[in-house]
Structure 1
Amino acid sequence: MNGSDTFNTAEPGSTVGAQVGQMHNSQIYVVGPDEPPEREYEVGCHYLADGVPSKAREHLERARARGFEGPEVLFHQALALLSKRSYRDLTKEDKAVLANLSVRGVSVSRDGWRRGLGVVFTLLSCVDGSNGDTGAAVAELEALPATQRDLILRHLDLVLTGGMKQSVWHRVRENAKEARFSNDRVNRVWAYFEAEPAGPRTEHPKPYSISGRDFFGGLLLAAASLFPVAIMTGSALSQGSLTALLACLTMLVFGPVAGWHVASWHHRHRRRLALAHAYGYGRSPSPPPKGGFAEQVEREFDHYFAKYAPDPLTRNAWSERTKGVRRCLRDEVVRIYRETGVEADQVKWLIRFLVRDVRKRLRTGQPVEPEEIHRVDSALKLRCAVLCLFTAAATTAVVGIALQQAPVSTAGCLLFTVIAARFAVPLWLRIHSERRRFGEESQERKAVDAARKAEYERWRNKLGRLRPHEDEMEAWLSADKTLILEETLMSHRLVWHEIVAHAFLPTPKRPCRSAHVSKGPWRYSRYEIRVFLVTEEGVREATAVLDFSRSRWRTTSRKNYRFDAVSSVQVEIASTRRYTLNITLNNGPSESIVVSEAPNLDAVVDEESQSEAPDINLETAGFSHTLRVLEGIAAEGKPWFGRAVEPPSADPSDPPAAA
């Protein structure tokens, strides 16, 4: 759907289409009122794996409050408190919770989860001023089972700094390289951004247009036409000659057969004219309204007819050849899906299927054009001509003989028959054609409906099989960010010993495709990843444009500035859906970065989900930590990083304030 607040963040001069997105229904974040605390824990783990630690904390705390305890729960709760945050970002309440988890985690048991929890607190002791043994902490981390070790490396990414980060960086980097293309990423990511397909529909046949009054009138006209014929036939037979008998038999036998062939010819001609009208032949169809459903459907048909052209060398001929059928299919799709709340993206599966069917029919020599589909073959024309000739000759003989026997009555009957037939024949041709049309279209609809249902099930099953899970999407994005960070470190010739703090700011790069699951964060097919590296001398910033679908990126800019160069950092909240970060330098223009903006889609989402969406999107982007680093630079500069800052108690769900 188009919205009034659609904006363009692409390069100057580029064009961005309607800002839309897809929402997939999912139960992975839903906890029913009667479900056990284990379900709260499961949903909390889902949120943590999917990059939303604040929601993970809520569910894990509720699971513990309802009596679900254990080292695995404590381990995941500790990770949820530390994920996407540095030690500076922790509030007093957070540290109190960690202290409580540390006490509860004391046990002689040495299972992997409790060992992992112990390593988490050993690592924290190395960054909280307790002067822990960094070497011993890293050794304990390396000795952990892979499951716990990889979770700690992922979620304590911003906690580990300096030499400790350098010690584990090779492991982090190798994990990212392994995860980057894992689970057949390149062949599956596209399915995440595909719309949920709209159910198959077929157009019902036009209603039978012959009323009871028409049928009754046809019977009267038929009787009025045939009764005089019967009188003339009787008059001819009264002569008693063999010629009269043969003429009457010929007329009575060949007449109905000739009438059937004429009716068949007329029916096919009538259907051909109707299909030609649907193809737009003989008229000038008006273009669909701009920006509407019809225009979007037409654009998709044009795209796929061009994409599925049988031979690139004959693309223009293919486009011209299929102009009529393309218009007819477009109009049908628009009619059956318009005013139903269905978006054009949801019927792309049907459009592709229809285009492939046209290509298949042309390749196999099946008819496509109206004169081909409803062609009157030469055999029918010949039979019709011969039968009509015999009927006309026999009728002429019968009328001639009857005129000899009863000239006055025969002349009157002939005149009455001609007048009645003038109205009876067209009416009965229409009645016959309508009955056949309705029957044929009903049969065609059954075949079309079955084919579309089969294609719908095939496409839906394919999407269900290929569509990545949320944890896969987050793991792939995390791997890309890690490797972009590695490239940034190498380009600036920095090692972790020189890094005081680092931060990421991933934002959507328009134009791009977007989608999310219900109650989950938005994902994008293209990102703009900003990396901030804080050293003792200043800030290094690098920006990379990431093609998430292919895991390819290119660095578009690098900036270096001193601490005192940052004049101000401000967050502008234009609406509940759009957050913009404004960074102003003393010696340069301000930079506006749209951090979070949900596409205009969620009319069907409940009010609570809409209110949570901005916070979830900001947290998935790691915005709070990045904002805190930039605010510290703008407010105090280098001294801010030289001392341990105890942040005030705050509700992490509150929107960030302007600095």
Structure 2
Amino acid sequence: MNAPNVTATNTAADSASVGLQAGIAVVHELNHYHLAADATPKEKYEVGLLYLENRMPQRARELINEAVVLGHDSSEVRFHQLLALLSGRTLQQLSAEDFQTLEAARDCLAGADDEWADGVRVIERLLGDIESRTVDPADLARLGEEQSRKIAKHLEMFLTGPLQDQAWWRLIPEAFDGRTARDRLRRTWKFFEPDPVRPRRTFPEPPRVTIGLRIRAYAAGGAFVTVVGYIGVLAARSAQTPVIVAYLLAVLGGFLWAVNGAEWRHRNERRNAKERELRFPGQRRRPPVGGFASQVDRLFSKYFGRYVPKSVDRAVWLAETAGIRRSIRDEVVDAYRDTKVDADAVAWLIRYRVGVVKRQWQQNTLWDHRWRFRTRASTKVAVVVGVTVVVLAGLRALAGAIPVSPLYASLAVPVLLATGASAAVDWLTITTERRRYEHEAKEKDLLYLDSLAAYRRWQERLADTPSDSEMAAWLECDRVLLMNEAIQHYKLLPSNMITHAFIEAPAPGCDRARVVNGPWRYSRYQILIFLLTSEGVRQMAVELDFHNATFHNRQRTNYRFDAVASVHVTEGDQRERTFELALVSGEPLEIPVAGVGEEKLGTGETPGTAVQLTVDAAGLQNTLHVLEGIAAEGKDWIVHEDERSGERINRLKRAVHGLMD
């Protein structure tokens, strides 16, 4: 027996206490475990079966028992009811109610004769002979593949001797094959991706044109046209061809000036607006911490910091894109602010928009507005020509028109100048705003179509996201192979162990995700296995990289039963659960099984459900039961456990006697 000369620590370098430094947290709104309020007994049974298969026996027991009480009964149902009753538990954990369930099964399955009934008979013999350990391994081998696999998986605590060894060795090749089955290495990351939300069509700010501006523009424009028309009448009455031609040229020059001047101003406005967008982020109030805008800020900082173009200094990249980062950020926040969308659901959109900016940078098109909105030389020439023609031809036309009606023509000139200036300014503003709106609307329409195409591509990529059952199956394979590694390292047979226990907990900084009414699954796990032998406890701790199905940072510790000082689970204010194991000498081992920040509810969920399911799937209850007994009684725990088992074995025999006669 090895002395406990190695302290029990986790993978932290400086401390045995590790908090859950959480990455992203995702809740998939899937109906994997959904039960309607008016669910039928059969539906409750089927969902209970899912929980059982995915290693959540406590919830499975509740639903299957409820289905049986409501009348859904058969040999298959009773088989799974027994598995749920016994899965992951020791004899000491069976309650009086559990024994009543076993006893009640006697009168329910008399005369049944199918493969599920055969499975129940094997369970009966297994429980009835738990003390003598005389169950023939061939009994398990003769069962159907599904029945024998499920018994080996769920009743491992009740299998003993050669039967235990045979069942265990049968699981190993299945675990090797199943560990990377169904393209695990390519697909697991998708489970931790948030469900993407559809892009929202956004609209530009409406034209900033007030009613007063329109009234003034129409009034000034009407007065100007009237005066111009009056001067034209005077020019015609002069009967001088040069005057008439000059008048017509002045009108044509004014039209040329107005059209090209509006184009020039529009291009300048668009170029300056783009320049401000890219260059000057401006000042804004910091959004409330934890709110949607704050989370969007975090994502923009994350992805702009990650997607840095090659050969570009990060600081330069962030400084040069500060304005456009602010612009896109505001656009996303405004688009989804009035919805209940979680910020992680638009992470795909933020990544896409950041990727577009990066691509534009690399292709030198990020600043192409400078030439796109550059005013053409022909436009500038047309404006200059128009102004020149208006001035020269207008003066000649006025000179010919005034003698026809000196008083009224003289009064018309200042009115012409005043209304012309006012109308030019007002109509130029209206025209520029209208064109701005049309241009921005077209840009946003194109952006929406591009984003929609990106959304559909992302949906297609996530189409084969693993189900929660697949995640549970892969994790079960990892657990079996790790258990096998520990057994091989300590040169044990499964039948050499008194019992074993394990804990699956999130590794610091991991991503986590789950489906509604399901447990949290993690991108990286801390897994602890405790092998209890007559010589003491063999403990192995590893970190599991779930994406790549690899184990890292193995730590092995051996200690006597009396070296365990205490073991307990603490529950925090936010329902976090921390497993704590302290040896007589050494630092305590603290593992957050369900960490802070995980109370993220899906549709129809109640607080605490996810944490309870996570604790159930992590195997915490059985581990706590075993190690608490060791901490309280030391090596005498083995003797006392056998003594305590005596009466329970007798009651177990009475409960299963004649179960399937």
TM above 0.5: yes
C-alpha separation in 1, matches of 2:22 and 2:382: 59
Which residue in 2 is equivalent to 1:204?
A: 203
Cα deviation digits, residues 94-132 of structure 1 (max 9, x gap) = 2342344366455462x3222222222333344x21x24
Mind listing any 5+ residue stretches in structure 2 that lack a counterpart?
A: 1-9, 649-661
Higher relative contact order (CA 8 A, sep 6+): 2
Alignment match of 2:615 (pick from 614, 618, 624): 618
Sort the Cα spacing of 1:55 and 1:18 in 2 relative to 1 into closer, same or farther, 3 A: closer
C-alpha separation in 2, matches of 1:9 and 1:484: 17
Which residue in 2 is equivalent to 1:545?
A: 543
* Contact persistence 2:280–2:322 (CA under 8 A): no
| Paired residues, number | 635
Q: How does 1:422-501 map to 2 (within 5 A)?
A: 422-460=421-459, 462-463=461-462, 465-501=463-499
* Contact persistence 2:29–2:602 (CA under 8 A): no
Which residue in 2 is equivalent to 1:53?
A: 57
Q: How does 1:577-616 map to 2 (within 5 A)?
A: 577-597=575-595, 599-602=597-600, 606=604, 609-616=606-613
TM-score by structure 2 length? Answer: 0.87
Q: How many Å apart are 1:532 and its aligned residue?
A: 0.5
Cα deviation digits, residues 533-579 of structure 1 (max 9, x gap) = 11111111111111122212213422111111112223322236122
SS at 2:238's partner residue?
Answer: coil
* Percent identical: 33
Cα deviation digits, residues 135-189 of structure 1 (max 9, x gap) = x2x2222233322222222212333245432222221111111121112212222
- Structure 2 residue 21 is matched with structure 1 residue 43: no
* Contact persistence 1:92–1:648 (CA under 8 A): no
C-alpha separation in 2, matches of 1:291 and 1:58: 36
Sort the Cα spacing of 1:308 and 1:580 in 2 relative to 1 into closer, same or farther, 3 A: closer
C-alpha separation in 1, matches of 2:273 and 2:43: 59
Q: How many Å apart are 1:475 and its aligned residue?
A: 1.0
SS at 2:264's partner residue?
Answer: helix
Cα deviation digits, residues 476-523 of structure 1 (max 9, x gap) = 111111111122223333332431111001111121111222222121
Q: How many Å apart are 1:309 and its aligned residue?
A: 5.2
Q: How many Å apart are 1:196 and its aligned residue?
A: 2.5
C-alpha separation in 2, matches of 1:571 and 1:155: 24
Amino acid at match of 1:258: W
Sort the Cα spacing of 1:451 and 1:10 in 2 relative to 1 into closer, same or farther, 3 A: farther
Which residue in 1 is equivalent to 2:122?
A: 119
Cα deviation digits, residues 573-605 of structure 1 (max 9, x gap) = 223612223322222233333222363443565
Q: How many Å apart are 1:202 and its aligned residue?
A: 3.1
* Contact persistence 2:20–2:506 (CA under 8 A): no
Which residue in 1 is equivalent to 2:173?
A: 174
Amino acid at match of 2:491: R
Q: How many Å apart are 1:429 and its aligned residue?
A: 0.5
Sort the Cα spacing of 1:386 and 1:17 in 2 relative to 1 into closer, same or farther, 3 A: farther
Which residue in 2 is equivalent to 1:97?
A: 101
* Contact persistence 1:10–1:510 (CA under 8 A): no
- The alignment yields a C-alpha RMSD, in angstroms, of 3.2
- Structure 2 residue 77 is matched with structure 1 residue 80: no
Sort the Cα spacing of 1:250 and 1:591 in 2 relative to 1 into closer, same or farther, 3 A: same
Which residue in 2 is equivalent to 1:629?
A: 626
Sort the Cα spacing of 1:19 and 1:418 in 2 relative to 1 into closer, same or farther, 3 A: same
Amino acid at match of 2:89: R
SS at 1:602's partner residue?
Answer: coil
* Contact persistence 1:188–1:468 (CA under 8 A): yes
Which residue in 1 is equivalent to 2:533?
A: 535
Which residue in 1 is equivalent to 2:346?
A: 347
Which residue in 2 is equivalent to 1:145?
A: 144
Amino acid at match of 1:133: T
C-alpha separation in 2, matches of 1:514 and 1:83: 25
C-alpha separation in 2, matches of 1:250 and 1:617: 85
TM-score by structure 1 length? Answer: 0.87
Q: How does 1:60-459 map to 2 (within 5 A)?
A: 60-101=64-105, 104-105=108-109, 107=111, 109=113, 111-126=114-129, 128-129=130-131, 131-134=132-135, 136=136, 138-281=137-280, 283=282, 293-305=292-304, 307-308=306-307, 311=310, 322-338=321-337, 340-359=339-358, 368-402=367-401, 410-459=409-458
SS at 1:160's partner residue?
Answer: coil
- Structure 2 residue 637 is matched with structure 1 residue 640: yes
* Contact persistence 1:269–1:374 (CA under 8 A): yes
C-alpha separation in 2, matches of 1:436 and 1:15: 56
Which range moved further: 450-459 or 488-497? Answer: 450-459
